């Protein structure tokens, strides 16, 4: 009886020991697998990082070896010479095309060259850099403190002359303009007015005149008072246009009214009201309906 109990106890202990050993073996195997997986992951990450770094090094090396600037093309320039644009763009032939900072080129040109108001830089592989500029054209000038100041359509200062060095050939092609009081007019910058004058209304009126049938024969434009706008046409007619309301229509009205008179007629016209015009040529008065 005792022997049988002893045998049963021994069998239970042996069974317990075998279960415990198997459990430890499974845990060790799983831990080993985890360590191996971590090692593999670390190796993959390390290899990927080295591979990426190698690609970057190869790309940089290739940019220096294969993609060098050999051709620089410049389009749209009339006022500036290509050499001047290249000088301010600060580009060297033979440098890497892929490392060109296009924003820096644009900023350099716009900062140093006031006649240019827009720049586009394109890269054309394997070796061409293309710069396209849009230049401001002078359209009007005004007189300020013994200086003649030439402006673009956007009212950017393009040139400043004094009485001794004034370019009369240039000024004769531009609108002579009276503006509201100007606070300052710095070369290469848009002028600033001393009051709250909205420069946008001046730009709009200049555009209206430029694209009207009167364009090319307007000598003077007086915009000093936005409620009393005047123009001098063909050095023969002083035309009073009132405020900016229906300005385009008023210019068309003036163009039609001029057809009533002989080409050499002089005088004044009043078109403050779009409903009726009043003309006084050679001391004879006319009412003109649209």
Q: What is the pLDDT along the chain (290 residues), one digit of tens a residue?
A: 444 444 444 444 444 455 545 555 556 767 767 777 777 778 778 877 888 887 777 766 665 666 788 888 999 998 889 999 999 888 877 777 878 889 999 999 988 888 898 999 998 888 889 999 999 889 999 999 889 999 998 899 999 999 888 888 989 999 999 999 998 898 888 899 887 767 888 889 999 999 999 988 999 999 998 899 999 999 999 999 998 888 999 999 899 888 888 788 889 999 887 667 777 776 555 555 55
Tell me, what's the pLDDT at 217?
A: 92
Tell me, what's the pLDDT at 124?
A: 84
Tell me, what's the pLDDT at 100?
A: 85
Tell me, what's the pLDDT at 5?
A: 47
Name the CATH architecture for the domain at 71-135: Roll (3.10)
Q: How far is residue 140's CA from residue 75's CA, in Å, rounded to a whole number?
A: 25
CA contacts within 13 A on the Cβ side of 275? 0
pTM of the model: 0.65
H or E element at residue 142: strand 138-144
Tell me, what's the pLDDT at 152?
A: 92
Asked whether the beta carbons of 80 and 116 are under 8 A apart, the reply is: yes
Residue 258 CB-density burial (10 A; 0-12 exposed, 13-18 middle, 19+ buried): buried
């Amino acid at each position: 009886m005792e022997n049988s109990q002893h045998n049963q106890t021994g069998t239970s202990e042996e069974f317990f020991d075998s279960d415990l050993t198997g459990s430890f073996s499974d845990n060790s195997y799983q831990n080993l697998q985890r360590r191996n997986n971590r090692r593999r992951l670390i190796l993959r990450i390390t290899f990927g990082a080295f591979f990426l770094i190698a690609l970057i090094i190869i790309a940089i090396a290739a940019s220096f070896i294969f993609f060098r600037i050999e051709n620089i093309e410049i389009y749209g320039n009339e006022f500036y010479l290509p050499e001047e644009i290249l000088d301010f763009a600060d580009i060297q032939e033979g440098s890497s095309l892929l490392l060109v900072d296009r924003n820096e080129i644009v900023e350099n040109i716009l900062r140093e060259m006031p006649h240019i108001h827009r720049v586009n830089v394109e890269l054309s592989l394997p070796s061409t850099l293309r710069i396209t500029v849009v230049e401001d054209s002078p359209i009007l000038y005004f007189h300020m403190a013994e200086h003649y100041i030439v402006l673009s359509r956007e009212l950017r200062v393009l040139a400043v002359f004094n009485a001794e060095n004034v370019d009369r050939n240039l000024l004769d092609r531009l609108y002579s303009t009276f503006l509201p009081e100007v606070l300052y007019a710095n070369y290469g910058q848009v002028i600033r007015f001393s009051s709250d004058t909205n420069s946008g209304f001046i730009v709009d009126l200049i555009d209206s005149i430029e694209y009207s049938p009167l364009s090319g024969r307007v000598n003077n434009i007086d915009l000093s008072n936005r409620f009393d706008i005047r123009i001098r046409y063909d050095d023969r007619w002083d035309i009073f246009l009132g405020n900016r309301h229906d300005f385009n229509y008023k210019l068309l009205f003036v163009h039609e009214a001029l057809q009533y008179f002989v080409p050499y007629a002089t005088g004044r016209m009043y078109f403050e009201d779009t409903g009726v015009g009043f003309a006084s040529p050679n001391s004879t008065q006319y009412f003109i309906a649209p």
